[in-house]
Amino acid sequence: MAYYRRAKAALDAFRNLSSKAVPKSPVQESCSRVYSNGSANSAKFSSGFYSYSCISQRLRNSYCNPNFNTAKRYYYVDRYHVQHFRPRGPRKWLQNPRTVFIVVVIGSGAFITLYLGNLETVPYTKRTHFVLLSKAVERQLGESQFQQMKAAFKGKILPAIHPDSVRVRLIAKDIIEALQRGLKHETVWSDMGYASTETDFVNEGRAARDTLRALSENSERGKTEGKWHQEDEILDDKWVQQSRKKGQEKGLQSATSHLDGLNWEVLVVNEPVINAFCLPGGKIVVFTGLLEHFRTDAEIATIIGHEVAHAVARHAAEGITKNLWFAILQLILYQFVMPDVVNTMSTLFLRLPFSRKMEMEADYIGLLLIASSGYDPRVAPKVYEKLGQIAGDSKLRDYLSTHPSGKKRAQLLAQAKVMEEALAIYREVKAGYGIEGFL
C-alpha cells in the first residue's frame, strides 16, 4: 500500500505540474469566467474539461467573448485527445447537397456511358448483352488457353494427314464458310498446317445418306415425343421470338466485329472424351471419343456448329462479365446471409439458368449454321437426345446442370420456329442457292 500511495501521489503531482505548464486557451478562459460568474446552465467546467454547450454557444454568437474569432477555431484540446466540433472527412462533403448532386451526376454519367458502350446484339436472337471484356483481351485469353491445351495434350494430337483430322477439318471449313455467308462477313481461314487442299472428299450425295443413317439408327429410341409446356423454363423459347421482334423493330445490327480476321484453327485430340469446344478466337478442338459415338458427318457438324455458335455469340466473354456481377452481389449478401446459403442460391437461381439459356441460344445459331453448310438440320434433335442418353439424363439435370437435358433440347429444336427457318435454308442450299445474311 505504501508503494501504491507514493506512486499515486507522484502521478497527481505530475498532472498538476503539467496543467500549470500548459496555458489556457482563450476559449477555456472565457468559459471559466462564465462558470465563475454563475452561468452554470450555459457552461459546466470540471477537472480540466469544459462543456460542448459553452463552446458551441461561443461559436454561434460569441457569448463569452464578442471579440473572439470563432471562424478559425473549430476544436478544443484536452489532456487526452482532440475532439472536433465540425465533422470532417467524408461526412463533410456528404452534408453538402451541391457536392452530392455533382458526384451523383458524374457517377451516373460514367456508368451509363460504360454500360451503353459495351452493349452488343447477338446474331439471330437479337438479344442484347453487356460485355466488359474487350475483343482483344478475349482473343488473347482464347489463344492462351489453346496453347495450354496443346501443351497438356502433347503427343495425343492427331497429325494433319490423319483421316479423322482431314474429315473434321473439312466439316469445320463448311461451317466457317456458312458463317461468312450468314454474317456477310470476310474471315481469314487457317488450319494450323493442316492440309489446305480444296479437293472435295465428300461426294454430292453423302450428306443425304448421312441424314438417312442418323434418322434410321435406333429410330424407336430416338423419337422425340411429347409437347413442350410454357411453364417449363428450358423449353419455353418465347424470349427468342420476343427478342428477335424487338431487335427488328429497333433495327439492331448484330455484333460481328469480334470475328474480324480470325485465324481459325482445328485440332483433333486422341482422347476418349465425348466433347468438343471452340475457344474465343476461332480455336476448334474435337476429341476422338466424340467421333466414336457420332459417326456421320451431319452429327459431327451439329456439334461443331453448336460450339462455333458459342464463339459467334461471345458467350465466354459474357460469362466472365456475369460472374463478376454475381461475385459482387454475393459479397453484398454475405453481410446478411450465411455464405453457404448465398453460394447455393446464386448457383441455382443465377449461374445455372444463365448457362442453360446460352446453350439454347447456341443450339439455335448452330442449327442455322449446319443448314447453311448443307447438312440436314433434322439430324440435330437426334444428336442432342443421343448426347443426353450418353451423359445420363434425369429430371434434376434440367435444374442442377449447366446444360439442358438432351431430350428437352431435342423436343425444342424439333418444334421451334427456328427449325422451319433452318429447313428453308437447307433446301435452298441443296438447290444450289447460297443463303446470305440469315444471322
241-254 pLDDT, tens digit per residue, is 788 888 878 888 88
Please report whether residue 136 resides in a domain: yes
pLDDT along the chain (439 residues), means of 10: 70 65 47 42 42 47 45 54 56 74 91 90 89 92 93 92 94 91 55 38 41 44 40 57 82 84 92 93 94 94 95 93 91 89 89 90 93 93 91 73 86 84 90 74
Please report whether residue 86 resides in a domain: no
Q: What pLDDT was estimated at residue 82?
A: 59
The Cα–Cα gap between 277 and 284 comes to 6
Q: What pLDDT was estimated at residue 224?
A: 38
Please report whether residue 12 resides in a domain: no
Task: Please name the residues in contact with 364: beta carbons below 8 A apart, sequence gap of 6 or more.
Answer: 124, 125, 240, 309, 416, 418
The Cα–Cα gap between 377 and 425 comes to 10
Q: What pLDDT was estimated at residue 187?
A: 41
Q: What pLDDT was estimated at residue 210?
A: 47
Please report whether residue 207 resides in a domain: no
Helical H runs in 126-275? Answer: 135-152, 163-183, 206-216, 238-250
Please report whether residue 190 resides in a domain: no
Among 336, 362, 375, CA closest to 172? 375
Q: What pLDDT was estimated at residue 59?
A: 44
Put the strands of the sheet holding 283-287 in their side by side order. 265-269, 283-287, 276-279
The Cα–Cα gap between 123 and 311 comes to 11
Q: Which domain holds residue 249?
A: 122-185+238-431
Q: What pLDDT was estimated at residue 243?
A: 85
Give the active site residues: 307
Phi, psi of 383 (to 5 degrees): -65, -45
Most distant CA atoms of the chain, gap in Å: 115
DSSP state of 253: P
The Cα–Cα gap between 134 and 136 comes to 5
- What separation, in Å, do the N-terminal and C-terminal C-alpha atoms of the chain show? 94
Please report whether residue 53 resides in a domain: no
The Cα–Cα gap between 109 and 357 comes to 31
Q: What pLDDT was estimated at residue 391?
A: 80
Q: How many domains does the chain fold into?
A: 1
Among 225, 217, 211, 218, CA closest to 407? 225
Please report whether residue 308 resides in a domain: yes
Q: What pLDDT was estimated at residue 197?
A: 33
The Cα–Cα gap between 158 and 149 comes to 14
Q: Would you state the cell numbers that stand for residue 40, as one nine-digit string?
A: 452554470
pTM for the complete prediction? Answer: 0.69
Please report whether residue 324 resides in a domain: yes
Beta-sheet pairing, 119-121 with 128-130: antiparallel
Among 329, 54, 307, 337, CA closest to 168? 307
